[in-house]
Amino acid sequence: MSDHATTSAGTMEHIVSLCKRRGFVFQSSDIYGGLSSAWDYGPLGVELKNRIQRFWWREMTQLHDDIVGLDAAIMMHPRVWEASGHVDSFSDLMVEDTVTNERFRWDHLPEENQRTKISPAGNPLSEPKQFNLMFKTHLGPVQESSSVVYLRPETAQGIYVNYKNVLQTSRVRIPFGIAQVGKAFRNEIVTKNFIFRTCEFEQMEMQFFVHPSEDEKWFEYWKEQRINYYRKMGIKMDRLRFAQHGPDELAHYAKDAFDIQFLFPFGWQELEGIHNRTDFDLSRHSEFAGKDLSYLDDLTKERYLPYIIETSAGLTRSVLMVLSDAYEEETIAEDDVRTVLRFHPDLAPITVGVFPLVKKDGLAELARDIERELREDFTTFYDQSGAIGRRYRRQDEIGTPYCITIDYETKENNTVTLRYRDSMEQVRIPVAELTIRIKQAIREYQRVGE
């Protein structure tokens, strides 16, 4: 950052507008007027989402040798959701404005509206009624009760029903974990704040199976691991906090639960949940499926039903978190404000921008050659249009951490300008050193949190 710069964080309007303008996120079915609360990830958005997913997957499966992966189907046997408690209890209290028909989640209404039973628009509210959040559909051509299936409202159950398969086929022993990333669906009464709360979203969940006597120890371990993960991603730590669930907030399966909350532009909100689910899920699946899901410790010969510590993060919600955390408007001079996304280089959709100073005199060809070389190690973007300063700013706005300019001097002595997004510093270096210099700069980011 330049010495005299001042910065400000983005509002939701700024972030939504940048996402649309630069191809991160589009409204679903835009040409038909849009489908409310559904969003499509554009060329840069899908890269960002994939990188966050990869960062999480590496953290959970590569850096923890006691965790293995899984990818279960979205549709599961309907009995799964009876056993899990979702058919009976996965509902929110809903009320309706009797004049405008606008719907509200009862627990999200201010106390004053709950007490008076008057909507924020000043009209009488209907009586609260329970609304199940699961999407129901039918498998096959006949719509009868035996063909009912649900779109999974969490990925976790796919892990529980596969726990024995994993045990029998991998060399895991308790304590161990199973990680999974995938779509989940909830028919939310109110969706809002862009991609924060949607009906179709993605989760990154890990279920850690432990001895019942060690649940509290592992719960604390995973709280620490998960907050450290966000530090490694470069998220500002003063924008993260833990919030413990009170007894009346605990989900039906939980003995203890903490949310990791992030300070979004609209306030502190849940980003991830860490839950002690006890043996609730395995004992219910044992009962409903009629299968013994207990674990036999081959060393101690003890047989028991493991407890489960769950870490459950929203992937699509993490995209909004990373965008909100990275967004800055930096005042460089009185009438010069640059918009910059300060992504961690491992998350940035493009790592290196490559520009010829001008198109002529063989500079474009030279720049193309250098870009092709760099592609082997980094995601690159070639841009030859407009003034060089504007090209830098276009890359700042999408969070590209490094840019390279090829000029006449390059032809003479094989050196280029490497420009750093965050400091805007420019250094002259030999082409042969580019890859190593960029890797070194990325490594410096990666050291944080290690």
Positions in the binding site for ligand GAP (CB under 6 A): 154, 156, 186, 188, 197-198, 201, 203, 205, 270-273, 310, 312-314, 316-317
User: Which H helix or E strand runs over 239?
Assistant: none
Nearer to ligand GAP, 309 or 352 (CB): 309
Q: How far is the CB of 16 from ligand GAP (least distance, A)?
A: 16
Q: How far is the CB of 205 from ligand GAP (least distance, A)?
A: 6
Q: Given the structure tokens 């090829």, which residue do they identify?
A: 406
Q: Given the structure tokens 């969490």, which residue do they identify?
A: 154
Q: Given the structure tokens 């966000």, which residue do they identify?
A: 230
Residue 215 zone, left/alpha/beta (φ > 0; ψ -120 to 50; rest): alpha
Residue 323 CB partners (closer than 8 Å, separation 6+): 15, 18, 19, 24, 48, 341
Q: How far is the CB of 19 from ligand GAP (least distance, A)?
A: 16
Q: How far is the CB of 358 from ligand GAP (least distance, A)?
A: 46
Q: How far apart are CA 14 and CA 328, in angstroms?
A: 10
Nearer to ligand GAP, 201 or 378 (CB): 201
Q: How far is the CB of 312 from ligand GAP (least distance, A)?
A: 4
Nearer to ligand GAP, 179 or 352 (CB): 179
Nearer to ligand GAP, 96 or 154 (CB): 154
Nearer to ligand GAP, 208 or 402 (CB): 208
Q: How far is the CB of 154 from ligand GAP (least distance, A)?
A: 4
Q: How far is the CB of 310 from ligand GAP (least distance, A)?
A: 6
Start-to-end CA distance of the chain, whole Å, equals 24
Contact between residue 172 and residue 153 where contact means Cβ atoms under 8 Å apart: no
Nearer to ligand GAP, 315 or 374 (CB): 315
Q: How far apart are CA 302 and CA 304, in angstroms?
A: 7
Nearer to ligand GAP, 49 or 317 (CB): 317
Nearer to ligand GAP, 316 or 410 (CB): 316
Contact between residue 227 and residue 341 where contact means Cβ atoms under 8 Å apart: no
Q: Which residue is nearest to ligand GAP (CB)?
A: 314
Q: Is the peptide bond before 124 cis (omega within 30 degrees of 0)?
A: no
Q: How far is the CB of 201 from ligand GAP (least distance, A)?
A: 4
Across the beta sheet with 402-406, the strand order is: 380-382, 352-356, 402-406, 415-420, 426-430
Nearest to 279 by CA among 209, 198, 378: 209
Handedness of CA 267, 271, 276, 282 (dihedral sign): positive
For residue 9, list its beta bridge partners. Answer: 328
Nearer to ligand GAP, 188 or 422 (CB): 188
* Strand pairing report for 352-356 and 336-341: unpaired
Q: How far is the CB of 37 from ligand GAP (least distance, A)?
A: 9
Contact between residue 123 and residue 98 where contact means Cβ atoms under 8 Å apart: yes
